[in-house]
Each structure stands twice: as structure tokens, then as C-alpha cells.
Structure 1
Amino acid sequence: MKTFAISALTVLGFALASVGSSSAADVEAGKTAFNKCMACHAIGPGAANKVGPDLNGLDGRKAGTEAGYSYSDAMKNSGITWNQTEFEEYIKNPKAKVPGVKMVFAGITKQSELDNLWAYVSQFDKDGKIK
């Protein structure tokens, strides 16, 4: 009986370890996911506002405050301070999260892609350097 219990716990441990590692965010996969954003947004060294604001230093930034970008009143008044939760809710359906925003984007709903995208975007400080 002890052997069975130890074997079962060992299998369970491996199963939990594999679940934990598969749900970890992947910065490289996030970089690939960012290709969907590149037409409108820039990030990294030398990034500038495009159709949308640059995303350097997004983590902890108050929405609607990037210098030199003309935001909608809806975004300026959204009360959002960007973090993973706010970002993921927004990217799933921007117009549902903040009605009246200018952003035209169908959204990303796959949780692993959202996690990876946040891992990529949040690594950049306000100067476009990796933290």
C-alpha cells in the first residue's frame, strides 16, 4: 500500500509540475504575439507613437498619459492603471472594456497568448530598455 501511495504521489507531482511549467509566460512567444500590435504600436529602444501610443513603460502607467499621443476622452477618463489584469481584460475586447476608445482591434482571447504578450510588453521600461 505504501508503494502505491508513493507512486501515486510521484505521478501527481510530475503532473502538477508539468501544468505549472506550461502555464508560465513565454517572452519569446509574446514577442511573436506582438506582431499583431506592430501596425499601430511600437515598443523598445527608439519607439515612437504611431497610430497608437508607444508601449514602453506600460506596466504601472496611467492610461491616456503617454506624451505626444492624442487619446480619446474615453481612454483619458478610463481610470485604468496598466497592470497584467487590466491589460488582459482590455486586449480581449478593447471597446467593451473602454467604450468610446479609438482602438480598432478584434481582440485576443487565448489566455496563454495574453500571458505571453504581457510578459513581452511589461519587460520594457519607459526608455524602452529591458528591466
Structure 2
Amino acid sequence: MKSKPVIRLKLLTAGIGLATLSGAAAAAPPKADAVHGQQVFARCAACHVIGSTPGTRMGPSLNGVFDRKAGTLAGYTYSAAMKKFGLKWDAPTLARFLQAPMKVVPGTKMAFPGLPNAQDQADVVAYLKQYRADGTKK
């Protein structure tokens, strides 16, 4: 017969394992939905273009934004803060920026309060990721 301390230790170990697994599941990024991202992007379309429509608006074109260094699209005048940001746009960086643009890049010209919802961020990132620099879909 096992002693009570050994049983308690096994139960405690099992509980810690389950807590760790559930914490890992909670930390997983949301599954991205590019179709919903297009709907969310409607909030961005007042200032940004994407797809076959060339040019810029109040903000730069977002065609081919992935792997592009921030503040470098030719033909758009960026803030000094965005030029100095220096990172390449990848999914985590773009999601973080979309959450709170003015906090991530203080001094940016992007006067947008951000997308606080992680699912919306992931969905917009998935939507943007579909486009090459020439505006065609991958």
C-alpha cells in the first residue's frame, strides 16, 4: 500500500503538468482567417490600399508588406520615427503594431487607436500576407 505523501506528490505533479499544458494552449496564437481579415481591413482602407489598386493614400500601400523594412516603401513620406523603427515586417511585429501603433512606434504618423483583439490582428495579418508587392495574390 502506498503512503499518502507519495500519492499527494503524484497528484501534485499531475496537476502541475495539466496546468502547464493548459497554459501553453492558452498562449497559442489564434487561428488566422484571411476572409475575416478583409472585413477588419475595411477600417484600414480609408488610409491604406492593397491589391490591384496602385499608389498610396494617407498611408503607404500594404502590398508586399511582409519582409519589407519599415519606413522604406518608395513614394511615401514616412515619419522619422517609422524610418528609425528599423524592423522588417513579419507576422508578430505587424500584429504587435496593429494592436497599438502609437505605442510600438512613438511618433508615427499613423493616428489609429489599434486593434485590441488578438483575433482581429491575426486575421488582418493573414489577409495582408496574401499580397505580393505588385498587388497580385500569392
Q: TM-score, normalised by structure 1?
A: 0.81
Unpaired segments of 5 or more residues in structure 1?
A: 1-18
Offset of residue 109 of structure 1: 1.2
Offset of residue 59 of structure 1: 0.6
| Paired letter, 1:27 | A
Offset of residue 51 of structure 1: 0.2
Match of 2:14 in 1: none
Match of 1:52 in 2: 59
Match of 2:108 in 1: 101
**Distance in structure 1 (CA, Å) of the matches to 2:34 and 2:54:** 19
Specify the SS of the correspondent of 1:128: coil
**Distance in structure 2 (CA, Å) of the matches to 1:84 and 1:62:** 13
The runs of at least 4 aligned residues of structure 1 exceeding 6 Å deviation read: none
| Paired letter, 1:103 | M
Match of 1:15 in 2: none
Offset of residue 24 of structure 1: 2.1
**Distance in structure 2 (CA, Å) of the matches to 1:69 and 1:40:** 12
Match of 1:79 in 2: 86
Q: Does 1:127 align with 2:134?
A: yes
Q: TM-score, normalised by structure 2?
A: 0.77
**Distance in structure 1 (CA, Å) of the matches to 2:89 and 2:53:** 21
| Paired letter, 2:67 | G
Mapping 1:1-131, distance limit 5 Å: 23-131=30-138
Per-residue Cα deviation, 1:33-82 (whole angstroms, up to 9, x for no partner): 00010000000013311000000000100000111000001000101100
Specify the SS of the correspondent of 1:89: helix
**Distance in structure 1 (CA, Å) of the matches to 2:57 and 2:40:** 18
**Distance in structure 1 (CA, Å) of the matches to 2:109 and 2:31:** 32
| Paired letter, 2:113 | A
| Paired letter, 1:56 | N
**Distance in structure 1 (CA, Å) of the matches to 2:47 and 2:129:** 17
Specify the SS of the correspondent of 1:91: helix
Q: Which has the larger radius of gyration?
A: 2
